[in-house]
């Protein structure tokens, strides 16, 4: 997968800031909306940015590490939830939020241990039926990692062809907070104990067991320590597809809405491969999973919301979308002091 991400050209920054400052408000009084408008204008290289056809892509896969009892939820919940997301009535958490905020929903089978019916509209990019148990061996081969990166990029190109310029990403994969915790620890240097949380609902005893399993997995690691090796050794198929999707979205100069703990870890991994990807990221929220705030701080990221969310699926990112939309409406729909014939007082 060959990706070349350009940082947004800063030459337009002065003109964008001048337009924002000329709107009928005290300078800086719309706070984060002004920052977001500036970011989106730089991404799109225009004084009049637009958000078009938002889509949420949910990548799903199973994890071999679940065999070690690191999740309170059983493995079959992965395929059951995928079917739930794609039910004709659309009654899942991500479904009602997509309807509310006008998002199209794509669901991708990256490696679920289940054979899905063909009539649900699930995008079949299955690598195999779940990763290997990284306590004992790499989660995936190098070839499988490349397949995942390319698969995620392919879905994003399809979205671009459909007219999208803003995407959010979500995941479904029992056990994927374990992979995220290890990526977080390796890529930030934060001790693993501060990265491991309850996931889908572990009690204190369960969290300590999870920490023990992941600590032993770190001890058993025999790779070369490179970013790519850590991604493949500990990642999930759905997570690596999300990394590829984020990289492709940034190359195409799309706005990326980042969801919770797992998708933040994917953005972290993507930024280790190509730092410029983070220029295209809007962090939707700070979730309730232990370690998420620490990871955001390590990345210098400022989330828009803090609602105690920890569902995943892209739900927090979609919840934050109206704030992004308000920022774009502000720069396009507010009058300037001169147009409104109001004295500019600063």
- CATH assignment of the domain containing 271: 3.40.50.10210
Q: List pLDDT tens digits, range 140-194.
A: 999 999 999 999 999 999 999 999 999 999 999 999 999 999 999 999 999 999 9
Options 76, 161, 313, 333, the catalytic residue: 313
- Establish whether 313 is a catalytic residue: yes
Domain contains 12: no
Q: Where are the beta strands (DSSP E) in the chain?
A: 55-61, 104-111, 123-124, 166-172, 255-258, 281-283
The pair of structure tokens assigned to 81 is 């939830």
pTM (predicted TM-score): 0.96
Measure the CA–CA gap between 241 and 246, rounded to whole angstroms: 9
Domain contains 317: yes
Measure the CA–CA gap between 338 and 315, rounded to whole angstroms: 40
Q: How far apart are the first and last CA of the chain?
A: 50
Domain contains 16: no
* Residue that is written with structure tokens 């002091």 in the block: 337
Give the sign of the dihedral formed by CA 95, CA 99, CA 103, CA 104: positive
The contacts of residue 27 (CB under 8 Å, 6+ apart) are 21, 346
The count of domains in the chain is 1
Measure the CA–CA gap between 110 and 141, rounded to whole angstroms: 15
What integer pLDDT is reported at residue 225 of this predicted model? 97
The torsion region of residue 253 among left (phi > 0), alpha (psi -120 to 50) and beta comes to: left
Q: List pLDDT tens digits, range 205-248.
A: 999 999 999 999 999 999 999 999 999 999 999 999 999 999 99
Domain contains 1: no
CA distances from 133 to 71, 144, 234 (A): 14, 15, 9
Domain contains 302: yes
Measure the CA–CA gap between 232 and 239, rounded to whole angstroms: 10
Find the domain containing 89 and state its range.
55-329
Domain contains 39: no
Domain contains 201: yes
Domain contains 29: no
């Amino acid at each position: 997968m060959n990706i070349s991400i350009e940082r947004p050209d800063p030459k337009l920054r002065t003109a964008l800031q001048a337009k924002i400052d000329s709107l009928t408000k005290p300078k800086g009084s719309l706070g984060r909306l002004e920052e977001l408008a500036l970011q989106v204008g730089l991404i799109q290289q225009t004084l009049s940015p637009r958000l078009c056809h938002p889509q949420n892509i949910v990548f799903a896969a199973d994890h071999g590490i679940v065999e070690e009892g690191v999740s309170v939820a059983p493995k079959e919940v992965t395929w059951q939830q995928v079917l739930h997301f794609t039910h004709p009535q659309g009654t899942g958490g991500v479904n009602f939020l997509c309807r509310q905020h006008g998002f199209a929903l794509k669901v991708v089978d990256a490696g679920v241990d289940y054979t899905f019916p063909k009539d649900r509209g699930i995008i079949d990019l299955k690598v195999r039926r779940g990763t290997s148990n990284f306590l004992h061996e790499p989660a995936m081969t190098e070839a499988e990692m490349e397949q995942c990166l390319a698969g995620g990029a392919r879905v994003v190109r399809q979205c671009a062809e459909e007219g999208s310029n803003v995407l959010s990403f979500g995941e479904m994969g029992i056990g994927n907070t374990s992979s995220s915790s290890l990526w977080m620890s390796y890529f930030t240097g934060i001790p693993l104990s501060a990265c491991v949380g309850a996931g889908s609902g572990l009690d204190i005893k369960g969290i300590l067991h999870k920490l023990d399993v992941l600590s032993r997995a770190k001890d058993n690691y025999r790779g070369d320590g490179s970013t790519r090796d850590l991604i493949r050794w500990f990642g999930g198929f759905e997570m690596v597809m999300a990394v590829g999707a984020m990289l492709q979205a940034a190359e195409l100069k799309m706005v990326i809405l980042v969801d919770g703990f797992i998708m933040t870890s994917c953005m972290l991994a993507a930024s280790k491969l190509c730092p410029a990807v983070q220029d295209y990221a809007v962090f939707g929220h700070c979730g309730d999973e232990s370690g998420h705030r620490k990871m955001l701080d390590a990345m210098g990221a400022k989330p828009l919301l803090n609602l105690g969310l920890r569902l995943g699926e892209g739900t927090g990112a979609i919840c934050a979308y109206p704030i992004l939309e308000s920022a774009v409406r502000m720069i396009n729909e507010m009058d300037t002091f001169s147009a409104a014939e109001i004295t500019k007082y600063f």
